[in-house]
Amino acid sequence: MSELTTVARPYAKAAFDFAVEAKAIDSWLAQLTFAAEVAKDETIVGYLSGGASVEQAQALFINVCGEQVDSQGQNFLKVMAENERLLVLPQVLEQFVALKAEYEQEVTVDVTSAVEVTAEQKTTLSAALEKRLARKVKLNCTVDASIVSGLIIQAGDMVIDGSVQGKLSRLASTLQS
């Protein structure tokens, strides 16, 4: 999987740089999202894996994507087809989304709680996290009754475990040592 990420990174960077220059980040995001879904289709994967020529792969993608991809997007797909990289479009999309979040200084934070988080709590939590992370925060809240009470907050590599389950685990570990 990391090999695909390595292959996808320069394509995502090139697409993102072009999108920033053209002031069309959202448009490129939509195009890449559509193209990545096409690249995931089993029929398309089978066709591309079956030894289709570069011209056939280009024509297939351009025809399937149709008006969902503009002329610059079509050129991007043609370059990827020439280099036999169309199957890594989902990873290109992943990298593009990461570059967009970094550019917009935005981070998605996963919040797990024992009960549903209220709108007021979300606002307070979002403001505190924006101050701590110095970025715009987008909350992704889920409910997991097994944590008993409290919150588990995860933003990238940072994890804040304020759950009762986590505190009990740390206490048990301390008592055993």
> For residue range 138-168, what is the model confidence (pLDDT) as tens digits?
899 999 988 888 899 998 788 988 888 888 8
Mean pLDDT of the chain: 88
* Lowest-confidence region among 23-37, 39-53, 139-153: 39-53
Asked whether 172 and 135 are in contact (CB, 8 A), the reply is no
Beta bridge partners of 107: 137
CA angle 31/33/36 to nearest 5° reads 105
Residues 97-128 have pLDDT tens digits of: 989 988 888 888 999 998 999 999 999 999 99
Asked whether 123 and 99 are in contact (CB, 8 A), the reply is no
* Lowest-confidence region among 45-54, 58-67, 89-98: 45-54
CATH of domain 2-102: 1.10.520.20
| Extents of the domains making up the chain | 2-102, 105-176
